[in-house]
């Protein structure tokens, strides 16, 4: 159900924010929608920690993770 007439004005596809097909979020201070790809990455991260503990997340992996996160944030904000 997509009643949004100007789909070119959307910031992202409804496929990556499935609840937006049914609900309208007007309270930005509330818990908002989570991008489907982000939710999948979070679930993979949690599953890996549950299965392997922190053994696979050594200092090098931690630095790489945060370097990639910092680069993505910089790209997002055109920094």
Per domain, the residue ranges of the chain are 7-76
Nearest to 15 by CA among 32, 31, 35: 35
How far apart CA 74 and CA 79 sit, in angstroms, is 5
Would you say 25 and 45 are in contact if contact means Cβ atoms under 8 Å apart?
Answer: no
Q: In this predicted model, which residue has the larger pLDDT, 57 or 46?
A: 46
Is pTM beyond 0.85 here?
A: no
* Least trusted range by pLDDT, from 7-11, 36-40, 46-50, 54-58: 7-11
pLDDT digits (tens, 9 = 90+) for 22-46: 888 777 677 778 889 999 999 998 9
């Amino acid at each position: 159900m997509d009643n949004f007439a100007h789909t070119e004005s959307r910031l992202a596809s409804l496929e990556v924010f499935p609840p937006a097909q049914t609900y309208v979020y007007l309270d930005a201070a509330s818990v908002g929608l989570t991008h489907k790809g982000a939710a999948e990455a979070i679930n993979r991260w949690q599953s890996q920690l549950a299965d392997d503990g922190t053994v696979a997340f050594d200092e090098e992996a931690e630095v790489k993770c945060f370097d990639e996160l910092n680069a993505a944030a910089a790209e997002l904000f055109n920094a």
